[in-house]
Amino acid sequence: MSGVRNLRSTSGAYTDPDAGKVPFQQYADKWLRTQTFEESTRESVGVRLKNHIYPHLGDKYLDMVKPSSIREWDRALQDCKLAASYRQVLFVHVQSIFNAAIDDELIRKNPCNAASVRKPSIPARKIVPWTTDRVHAVRGAISERYKVTVSLGAGLGLRQGEAFGLALDDVDFDEDMVTVQRQVKFVYGKPCFGPPKRGKIREVPLPSSVAQDIKEHVAKFPPIVVTLPWQHPGGELVSARVIVYSRDLTAISRPVYNQWVWGPALKKAEVPRVKRVDGFHALRHFYASTLLDAGESITALAEHLGHSDPGFTLRTYTHLMPSSKDRTRRAIDYAFNFESCSWTEATGSADYVKSLAPRSLTFD
């Protein structure tokens, strides 16, 4: 047609050269509305867009955002002292928005994917788990009403919201199992129940020590029925007999707990405050490191933690397996009948002995 220019995209389709004359913010708002996020995630993404992306890119047309624009934006974020991990999250949001615009045939290329643009990289950071003494110190320092939360985190590997959402009905004392099927979260400032992260309901073995702590806790603080909307403030109302609750007989607010319960306990226990290290999640890392040190498999640990990918569990905790090299040496020494060591000596784990029966070795 005369007067109409069409450009071939990388997929072979044609793109109207004027299709990209859409402000980034206008398109990003539409992108956000159409995502199948949980409402809490939608809220978080919306805040990031508003605070760190729209001020730099919001007014620009989609087709006017060049690789240089992305580099300049990331540089501005660095100047604001934003952590590399947070900048990476922001970058992925922008990259996803431009990918969607390509799918909608509004633009041909994603400026985030240009060779001259580097995705913010996160410096390698190895988790240093708390010692048993530190866990006991914090448990001894925390207020009586919330003492059981330490057992739920360190003894079951629960996330903070999962500990707050655990109901007595989720604990099977006869089968020594706990079903993790809900968490307490705040969406648009309102408390809600929701499924565990990524919707992964799981069963976790219940150690006798943790079972005893739960029994002692519910004897002092009988569970109460808390009713909250499911997933978002307008969701269906759901009730659960939660084990841990506030003095006001309501679901626990994470910020309130962190400020008035967790923080004072760390101070009393003389635990150094280190950002991203001393939060409630440290108990979950302690749980993981304890299981690995006892010879638990990565696959089983991933199940207990609710990770969807055992590979993620391995990448996160592989450095906490210091005995693996020695175990390998001893296992091979046993296979070669070196110094007549036993399988228990070779592996340090009775369960490992059962899983690795000795086999004859053949060499070419």
Instruction: Find the mean pLDDT for residues 86-114.
Output: 96
The mean pLDDT of the chain is 85
* Distant-in-sequence, close-in-space partners of 218: CB < 8 Å, separation ≥ 6: 168, 243
Q: What is the pLDDT of residue 246?
A: 94
H runs (alpha helix) in 269-362: 281-293, 298-305, 310-317, 324-335, 343-347, 350-355
Q: What is the pLDDT of residue 324?
A: 52
The owner of tokens 């069963």 is 203
Radius of gyration of the chain (CA): 26
Task: Clarify whether residues 138 and 78 are in a common domain.
Answer: no
Q: For residues 232 and 333, which has the higher predicted lDDT (pLDDT)?
A: 232
Task: Clarify whether residues 136 and 267 are in a common domain.
Answer: yes
Least confident of 135-149, 171-185, 341-355: 341-355
Task: Clarify whether residues 302 and 328 are in a common domain.
Answer: no
Instruction: Find the mean pLDDT for residues 162-176.
Output: 96
Confidence of residue 353 (pLDDT cuts 50, 70, 90): very low
> What number of other Cβ atoms are within 10 A of residue 250's Cβ?
14
Q: For residues 298 and 75, which has the higher predicted lDDT (pLDDT)?
A: 75
Q: For residues 298 and 97, which has the higher predicted lDDT (pLDDT)?
A: 97
- Residue at which a domain ends, from 113, 148, 165: 113
Q: Of 227, 254, 198, which is closest to residue 41 (Cα–Cα)?
A: 198
Instruction: Find the mean pLDDT for residues 222-249.
Output: 95
Determine the structural domain holding residue 94 and report its residue range.
7-113
Task: Clarify whether residues 306 and 332 are in a common domain.
Answer: no
Q: Does residue 124 fall inside a structural domain?
A: no
Q: What is the pLDDT of residue 354?
A: 39
Q: Does residue 178 fall inside a structural domain?
A: yes
> What number of other Cβ atoms are within 10 A of residue 264's Cβ?
13
Task: Clarify whether residues 136 and 251 are in a common domain.
Answer: yes
The owner of tokens 């702590």 is 213
Percent above pLDDT 90 for the chain: 61
- Residue at which a domain ends, from 71, 86, 113: 113
Confidence of residue 2 (pLDDT cuts 50, 70, 90): very low
Confidence of residue 7 (pLDDT cuts 50, 70, 90): very low
Above 60 in pLDDT, residue 309? yes
What burial letters (b/e) apply to 48-60, b meaning 16+ CB within 10 Å? bbeebbbebbeee
Q: What is the pLDDT of residue 302?
A: 85
Least confident of 116-130, 190-204, 231-245, 314-328: 314-328
Above 70 in pLDDT, residue 169? yes
Q: Does residue 125 fall inside a structural domain?
A: no
Contact assessment for residue 27 and residue 94, using Cβ atoms and an 8 Å cutoff: no
Q: What is the pLDDT of residue 13?
A: 55
Contact assessment for residue 343 and residue 334, using Cβ atoms and an 8 Å cutoff: yes
Percent above pLDDT 70 for the chain: 82
Contact assessment for residue 39 and residue 194, using Cβ atoms and an 8 Å cutoff: no
* Predicted structure pTM score: 0.70
Distance CA 244, CA 305 (A): 20
> What number of other Cβ atoms are within 10 A of residue 342's Cβ?
10
Q: Does residue 127 fall inside a structural domain?
A: no
Distance CA 7, CA 16 (A): 7
Task: Clarify whether residues 267 and 169 are in a common domain.
Answer: yes
Confidence of residue 327 (pLDDT cuts 50, 70, 90): low
Q: What is the pLDDT of residue 323?
A: 54
Tell me the longest C-alpha to C-alpha distance in the chain.
88
CATH code (residue 109) = 1.10.150.130
Q: Does residue 126 fall inside a structural domain?
A: no
Task: Clarify whether residues 107 and 137 are in a common domain.
Answer: no
Q: What is the pLDDT of residue 44?
A: 92
Confidence of residue 125 (pLDDT cuts 50, 70, 90): confident
Q: What is the pLDDT of residue 311?
A: 77
Q: What is the pLDDT of residue 97?
A: 97
Confidence of residue 103 (pLDDT cuts 50, 70, 90): very high
Q: Does residue 64 fall inside a structural domain?
A: yes
Q: Does residue 362 fall inside a structural domain?
A: no
Q: What is the pLDDT of residue 325?
A: 58
Distance CA 96, CA 20 (A): 16
Above 90 in pLDDT, residue 1? no
The owner of tokens 């919707």 is 199
Q: What is the pLDDT of residue 146?
A: 96
Task: Clarify whether residues 291 and 149 are in a common domain.
Answer: yes
Q: For residues 121 and 114, which has the higher predicted lDDT (pLDDT)?
A: 114
Task: Clarify whether residues 278 and 350 are in a common domain.
Answer: no
- Residue at which a domain ends, from 80, 113, 146: 113
Task: Clarify whether residues 204 and 140 are in a common domain.
Answer: yes
Task: Clarify whether residues 230 and 136 are in a common domain.
Answer: yes
Instruction: Find the mean pLDDT for residues 76-81.
Output: 93
Above 50 in pLDDT, residue 147? yes
CATH code (residue 295) = 1.10.443.10
Q: Number of folded domains in the chain?
A: 3
pLDDT in tens, 12-33: 555 567 788 999 999 999 999 9
The length of the chain is: 364
Instruction: Find the mean pLDDT for residues 66-95.
Output: 95
Q: Does residue 122 fall inside a structural domain?
A: no
Above 70 in pLDDT, residue 122? yes
> What number of other Cβ atoms are within 10 A of residue 27's Cβ?
20
Task: Clarify whether residues 267 and 236 are in a common domain.
Answer: yes
Q: What is the pLDDT of residue 15?
A: 57
